[in-house]
Amino acid sequence: MLNFILVEASLEVVPREIQNHPQIKAYAKRFKKKPEKILLDKSYHYQAMGKLPFKEKRGRPDIVHFTLLEVLGSPLNFERLIKTYIHTLTNYAIYINPETRLPRNYNRFIGLIEQLFQVGKVPLEGEPLLTMEKLSLENLLKKINPSKTFLLTEKGKPSTPIMLAEKLEKEVNPVIMIGGFPHGEFKDETLKLTDEKVCIDPKPLDTWIVASRVIAAYEAKIGLPEKRLKIQP
């Protein structure tokens, strides 16, 4: 079983200090929502975000959307061999039921996540697909109890996806952590919770590309395509 955490994910509602900014108020009015219930989105709130600390890391729910579609749609997830978590920049842990079929449409995804931030789970009735709680990354990792944590970062040891997959395969309960933010450095807290830093490409790759490379290599390493296709290895 592979544990996948999208760490420092750029997913939050509009923070209090900019809820009265004219750009936020106009946006809220247009979509008939309350400012505090709107998901922060750099595409629409760029000016309002001007003075936010660490603004270069914030307001990118599209990164979470693409990456989750990449992970949840993988054959590895169909086999229930990967557990998917999000840990946000503002210290929320989000648990994702592997059966979740996320909306493909971005605006519907945003609506779903806004509901999640408001209520703590979606859907409201029946078995929840996404649930959320305030929790540090450290405490999320305590729950998972990994045998080893790997962080994907340009500052890690150069390693092809296949070399990484070989290491993952040897672990009882490995955790893969991939940054869910567009630019900037990892927090010290994240680095402290990392056992091994790995670099799969010298250039910065989009989060969903890193996710697909790691998962594809792991699938290949454990012979999943052969198994699913019933081909003799």
- Interacting residues with a copy of itself between 50 and 89 (CB under 8 A): 60, 62-63, 66, 69-70, 73-75, 78
The answer to whether 214 and 161 are in contact (CB under 8 A) is yes
Tell me the C-alpha distance between 27 and 182, whole Å: 23
In three state form, how does the secondary structure of 30-51 look?
HCCCCHHHCECCHHHHCCHHHH
- How far is CA 156 from its chain centroid? 19
Least distance CB 53 / a copy of itself (angstroms): 22
**Interface with a copy of itself (CB under 8 A), residue from 34, 80, 108, 155:** 108
Least distance CB 101 / a copy of itself (angstroms): 10
Neighbours of 195 (CB within 10 A): 13
Nearer to a copy of itself, 12 or 70 (CB): 70
Least distance CB 233 / a copy of itself (angstroms): 9
Least distance CB 231 / a copy of itself (angstroms): 6
The answer to whether 140 and 85 are in contact (CB under 8 A) is yes
The answer to whether 24 and 50 are in contact (CB under 8 A) is no
Least distance CB 207 / a copy of itself (angstroms): 10
**Interface with a copy of itself (CB under 8 A), residue from 36, 54, 81, 106:** 106
In this structure, what are the phi and psi dihedrals at residue 176, rounded to the nearest 5 degrees? -105, 125
Residues with Cβ within 8 Å of residue 93, at least 6 apart in sequence: 85, 86, 87, 132, 133, 134, 135, 140
Nearer to a copy of itself, 144 or 163 (CB): 163
**Interface with a copy of itself (CB under 8 A), residue from 162, 171, 184, 196:** 162
Q: Which amino acid is at 117?
A: F
**Interface with a copy of itself (CB under 8 A), residue from 1, 26, 31, 43:** 43
The answer to whether 138 and 190 are in contact (CB under 8 A) is no
Q: Which residue ranges make up the site for a copy of itself (CB under 8 A)?
A: 41, 43, 60, 62-63, 66, 69-70, 73-75, 78, 104-108, 158-163, 199-203, 205-206, 208-209, 212-213, 216-217, 220, 225-226, 228-231
